[in-house]
Amino acid sequence: MKIVIATTNLGKKRELEQMLDSEVEILSLRDFKNIKEVEENGQSFAENARKKAIGYAKQTNMYTLADDSGLEIDALGGAPGVHSARFSGTHKNHSSSLIDHENIEKVLQLMKEVPKSKRTARFVCSLCLASPEGVIFEVEGQLEGLITSKKYGDNGFGYDPIFYVPSMDKTTAQMSEEEKNSISHRGEAIKKFKEQLLKSNMFSNQTFHK
């Protein structure tokens, strides 16, 4: 069967290809022409994933998997939440490392006076699979942690250097890719996605792909 991953990010496409069965052929939005961007203007990760999955399934006429993810910090009322990618307001044309740096600085500044016991946070990843007719199923993965008061580690991306996982005694930026995938919000969401996909019998039941 074929699934479109609603991303132009080839890293994400590769990550999913590795974790899914070889029977699933994965396409990305790069494999289609004249695709109009679906706006991520929802109030939750799940809503954004749903909008993208349905919007791109209608345009490609294929099963489409979309994701949205980010960081929720309790002391900041759930911020940066759906605004995680551009929390600092840095223009999206800047390099991702500059954007990540500015986002982290903003969080550390806002959390300056917050004591350790109140620095709880979680990474969330929502995935939605849709056909042109609508949602087929949705899953979510979470990883609980604490926001540190300075950066630790160079691996990963985004908020990883300030996201400490007590059970591993390190930040997600101090973990290897394998270690992070085994416990991460994205790893958990993909595992649930695979389970649902196997239950759904979709392998033998694809009726509308091109």
Q: Which residues does the annotation mark as catalytic? A: 68
Binding string, residues 131-170; x marks residues near ligand ITT by CB under 6 A: -------------------------xxxxx----------
Minimal distance in Å, beta carbon 121 to ligand ITT?
11
Q: Is 72 in the site for ligand ITT (CB under 6 A)?
A: no
Peptide bond into 166 cis (omega under 30): no
Q: Is 193 in the site for ligand ITT (CB under 6 A)?
A: no
Q: Is 7 in the site for ligand ITT (CB under 6 A)?
A: yes
The residues in 38-67 that bind ligand ITT, with binding defined as CB under 6 A, are 67
Task: Please check whether residue 56 is in contact with residue 35, taking contact to mean a CB–CB distance below 8 angstroms.
Answer: yes
Of how many residues is the chain composed?
A: 210
Return d(Cα 27, Cα 128) in angstroms, integer. 16
- The number of angstroms, rounded, from the C-alpha of 119 to the middle of its chain's C-alpha atoms is 22
Can you tell me which of 1, 2, 9, 47 binds ligand ITT, judged by CB under 6 A?
9
- The number of angstroms, rounded, from the C-alpha of 125 to the middle of its chain's C-alpha atoms is 4
Nearer to ligand ITT, 62 or 189 (CB): 189
Q: Is 123 in the site for ligand ITT (CB under 6 A)?
A: yes
Query: What are phi and psi for residue 44, nearest 5 degrees?
Result: -140, 165
Q: Is 110 in the site for ligand ITT (CB under 6 A)?
A: no
Nearer to ligand ITT, 119 or 186 (CB): 186
Task: Please check whether residue 117 is in contact with residue 111, taking contact to mean a CB–CB distance below 8 angstroms.
Answer: no
* Count of alpha carbons within 13 angstroms of residue 113, beta-carbon side: 2
Task: Please check whether residue 143 is in contact with residue 183, taking contact to mean a CB–CB distance below 8 angstroms.
Answer: yes
Can you tell me which of 55, 70, 145, 187 binds ligand ITT, judged by CB under 6 A?
70
Question: Which residue number places its CB atom closest to ligand ITT?
Answer: 158
The residues in 170-189 that bind ligand ITT, with binding defined as CB under 6 A, are 172, 184, 186
Minimal distance in Å, beta carbon 126 to ligand ITT?
9
Using CB under 6 A, count the residues that bind ligand ITT: 20
Return d(Cα 8, Cα 33) in angstroms, integer. 12
**Of 141, 122, 121, nearest in space to 46 by CA:** 141
Query: What are phi and psi for residue 195, nearest 5 degrees?
Result: -60, -45
* List of residues contacting ligand ITT (CB under 6 A): 7, 9, 12, 67-71, 84-85, 103, 123, 156-160, 172, 184, 186
